[in-house]
Amino acid sequence: MLFIELALIRWTAANNVHLAYLTNFILLASFLGIGVGFLSANSKRNFSAFAPVALMALVAFMLVFPVSYVSLSGPHQLQGRFGIAPLPQGLGLPVIFLLSVAVMAGIGQGVARAFTRFRPLEAYCIDILGSIAGIVLFSALSLWELPPIAWGLIAAIGIMVLLGGRMRWWQWGATIAVVALLGTQSFRSHEYWSPYYKVTTARVPGVPRALAVFANNIPHQTMYPISALRRIEPFYYYPYRHVNRHSLNDVLIVGAGTGNDVAVALSEGAKHIDAVEIDPVLQWLGSQYNPNHPYQNPRVSVHINDGRAFLQQNDTHYNLILFALPDSLTVLGGQSNLRLENYLFTLEAMQSARAHLKPGGTFAMYNYYQPFLLNRYASTLQAAYGGRPCVEVSGSSVGGRRQAVLTTGAEGTTRRCATPWHGKTLAPATDDHPFPYLATNSIPSFYLAVLGLILAAALLIVRMVGAPFRGMGRYLDLAFMGAAFLLLETKYIVQFALLFGTTWLVNSLVFAGVLLAVLAAVEVARYVRLPRPLLLYVTLLGSLAVAWIVPQESLLTLPTMARLVVASAIAFAPILFANLVFAQRFADVSSSTTAFATNLLGAMVGGALEYLSLITGYRFLLIVVAVLYGLAFLVGRRHLGGVSAT
């Protein structure tokens, strides 16, 4: 169940660019579907039987109606299959949502019916063990960079187990069709599956040896020969106007990608380059196909790592640091609003970069910036370096965005700058509010509309399957717990991304760590007499208070192992106590399936509340978590009692 949820989050975003902006869309659909499946555990309606058909329909729909970016400007920026106009967003997204709900409802019902054969805590323990297996499988596919057919084979095996060998011909046909359809996307010579993206390559007409790279159906990078770069993309050379060419002993390039920036630095006389790229497939493509062969040069050291993490993990100082086009629409694990590069553009990140410059060193960053974003980054550099950066704009506006280079010196002044920045000062993004792409601290109206529709659809669908709200009402405290725990989990996934890098490996390890903490709490609740609920709640709130008091930025100054130990203690203590509270309550429920469904639907609300971080930052989510657990205690007091070891 968890494996298919994660695979759907990853795979759907790779085929429809709209889902890059709706970070929790499939996650919320999955929670709703699983909740519906659990609520219908005793229903005569057999949703499980139709799980393979729903999955086949979802896969087919995504492949027949993909959505790609083909241009950043003009009336036809988006494109569907065969170059035709894509389905309207208002039509395509509801179909994807409903089909995702149907898939997960079928799987959820199968899990729920297995639940009823065990005591509540025993069932939950087995469920968590299965979830750990799911995250391990998903992480292995990321490590091995396997294509979707591998995901489909695992899903097919799971469905066969779910249906217990009693599959009819049409269920076999649908399951085989899922694997076959995913196979059509798995053996294309120009398509690769990294831990983050579906990466597609294409030759550039009219430019010999140039190769364009698309990530999740979005134009991402183009490898050009040096001669073409100088003519077509002159901004690559702007930072070198402001450096002492005779002292380019050490250069750091964050976002080295397929190697254009590295090739330019080599051509400008860099003696040694640390090239940092988070995506191994992008770097591999550069090593294979970049016409300048920069990664074969002995002066280049390649680091597959998150840029911010690399700065935190080494003490090397540089003559020149470049943040080179690090811009993704890939969200961290689909579990938060955090994109891969968000922590690279905060005030604290810019201060960290400055600390890695040699005396007289230079920092530069470039991309296609919206006007407000250019002002925000310039304001951030001014705050970090103490002087106005140099701004050099290249080319015409593309979709309202201008290609611009921001450069500043280690002492806050820029050599040979004819165009210092004089724009509007904007508040920098920070490690607590790492949303540089958000013009103001607010939830965009589009997000609010989509979240409202999702929650309304949830009420309607739950009612349509015949679930009695009155029966769910007695587990309202579990709904509050579900909402609180989703926020708690998100908070710490994001925090570990800051402390150790926004990589798929860090995300997987934290996810697995959360599940292990849940498992530990359940095992304690099964075999140990727990203290009174009030004491558990007080301990939980106390651990949240400690997490609030200790600022996460203070942990960045610790050595790596000490940082890991302290961060884990602060993060997993509330998770452990929260699950002791949950396990104590869940042990005595009269209907484990209804109780678990209510908890999952509460998690849906938590997924919606997570967007509060766009206004308040992530630290404030701890306050929301504390309030939600307080409400859970008040609502559920009549159900609370000591639980003996079972």
Kindly report, residue by residue over 523-554, the tens digit of the pLDDT: 999 999 999 999 999 999 999 999 999 988 88
pLDDT in tens, 112-135: 999 999 999 999 999 999 999 999
Pick the residue with more confidence: 164 or 458? 458
In this structure, are residues 410 and 385 in contact, taking their beta carbons and an 8 Å threshold?
Answer: yes
Residue owning tokens 């209907």: 591
Token couple for 460: 């309607």
Q: Where do the domains of the chain lie? A: 1-117+148-186+443-452, 228-327+347-409
Average pLDDT over residues 160-181: 91
195 and 143 Cβ atoms separated by less than 8 Å: yes
Sorting pLDDT into bands at 50, 70 and 90, what band is 246?
A: confident
Number of H helices, E strands in the chain: 23, 13
Residue with tokens 């106390």: 542
pLDDT at 274: 98
Distance CA 384, CA 444 (A): 28
Q: Which two tokens stand for residue 410?
A: 């280690």
Q: What is the mean pLDDT of residues 469-491?
A: 91
Contact 582, 478 (CB under 8 A): yes
What band does 637 get if pLDDT is binned at 50, 70 and 90? confident
Q: How far apart are alpha carbons 361 and 384 in whole angstroms?
A: 14
Q: How far apart (Å, rounded) are the C-alpha atoms in residues 137 and 409?
A: 46
pLDDT by residue (tens digit) across 4-19?
999 999 999 999 999 9
Report the alpha-carbon distance of residue 57 to residue 607 in Å, rounded. 26
Q: Does residue 139 surpass a pLDDT of 50?
A: yes
**Residue 71 has what pLDDT?**
74
pLDDT of 232 higher than 70 = yes
- Residue 642: which pLDDT band, with cuts at 50, 70 and 90? very low
pLDDT band at 164 (very low <50, low <70, confident <90, very high): confident
Window from 57-61, 111-115, 397-401, 514-518 with minimum mean pLDDT: 397-401
Q: Rounded to whole angstroms, how far apart are CA atoms 198 and 15?
A: 8
pLDDT on residue 151: 96
How does the average pLDDT of the chain come out, rounded?
92
User: By mean pLDDT, which of 146-155, 337-346, 592-601 is the weakest?
Assistant: 337-346
Q: What is the mean pLDDT of residues 269-278?
A: 97
Task: Grade residue 396 by pLDDT with cuts at 50, 70 and 90.
Answer: low
How many whole angstroms separate alpha carbon 289 and alpha carbon 639?
Answer: 64
Could you tell me the sign of the dihedral formed by the alpha carbons of 214, 219, 221, 222, in that order?
positive
Distance CA 385, CA 376 (A): 14
Per-residue pLDDT tens over the stretch 290-345: 999 999 999 999 999 999 999 999 999 999 999 998 876 655 555 556 777 889 99
- Hey, what are 120's tokens? 């509540």
- Which CATH number applies to 228-327+347-409? 3.40.50.150
DSSP-assigned states of every residue in 531-582: --HHHHHHHHHHHHHHHHHS-HHHHTTS-HHHHHHHHHHHHHHHHHHHHHHH
Q: Confidence band (pLDDT; 50, 70, 90) for 646?
A: very low
| pLDDT higher than threshold 90 for residue 236 | yes
Side-chain half-sphere exposure of 174, counting CA atoms within 13 A:
19
| pLDDT tens-digit map of 422-478 | 999 999 999 999 999 998 999 999 899 999 999 999 999 998 887 677 778 889 999
pLDDT for res 237: 95
Q: Give Cα separations from 242 to 361, 389, 403 (angstroms).
A: 10, 11, 18
DSSP state of 420: B
